[in-house]
Amino acid sequence: MLKITIFVVLTERRYYRVMIIINVKEGESLDKALKRFKKKFEKTGVLRELRSRQAFEKKSVARRNVVKKAIYKQGLNQETV
């Protein structure tokens, strides 16, 4: 059994630590294990956090974006009903 461990640390004002452990089972292809790793990594939200930190966003702008997304989602839900 092969064990793949990835430790990610973002150091910019706050520390964001993520440890992802993927156990590769006997006879399992590396492609399948890599796919599981990508899925786990996506769920941690590290890349989303990095992208959001690239440029400062004012609170008022962030709130406006949240409202816009909510209106958009509500419109989608009304169309399907």
pLDDT in tens, 24-49: 888 888 888 889 888 988 888 888 88
- Above 70 in pLDDT, residue 5? no
Distance CA 71, CA 65 (A): 10
Which residue in 46, 45, 34 sits closest to 8, CA to CA? 46
User: What pTM does this model have?
Assistant: 0.55
Higher pLDDT, 27 or 67: 67
Radius of gyration in angstroms for the set of CA atoms belonging to the chain, rounded to a whole number: 19
**Do 24 and 1 form a contact (C-beta atoms < 8 A)?**
yes
